[in-house]
Amino acid sequence: MSFAIKNSLFLIDFKINAMSKPKETEVPSINLLSSGTVVKGEIKVNGDFRIDGIFIGSINCKGKIVVGATGVIEGEINCQNADFSGEVKAIVKVAELLTLKESAKFTGDISTNKLAIEPGAKFSGNCVMDNSGIKTPLPNEKPDEQRPKQAGAQ
Q: 3-class SS at 91?
A: strand
> Which of 2, 62, 63, 85 is closest to 73 using CA atoms?
85
Q: Report how far residue 93's alpha carbon sits from residue 79's, in angstroms, rounded to the nearest whole number.
A: 6
Higher-confidence position of 78 and 24 = 78
pLDDT class of 8 with cuts at 50, 70, 90: very low
* pLDDT of 16 higher than 50: no
* pLDDT of 46 higher than 80: yes
Q: Report how far residue 78's alpha carbon sits from residue 85's, in angstroms, rounded to the nearest whole number.
A: 17
What pLDDT was estimated at residue 22?
52
pLDDT tens for 51-83 read 999 999 999 999 999 999 999 999 999 999 999
What pLDDT was estimated at residue 12?
41
pLDDT class of 30 with cuts at 50, 70, 90: confident
- C-alpha distances in Å from residue 98, one per residue of 19, 89, 119, 129, 140: 45, 14, 15, 11, 24
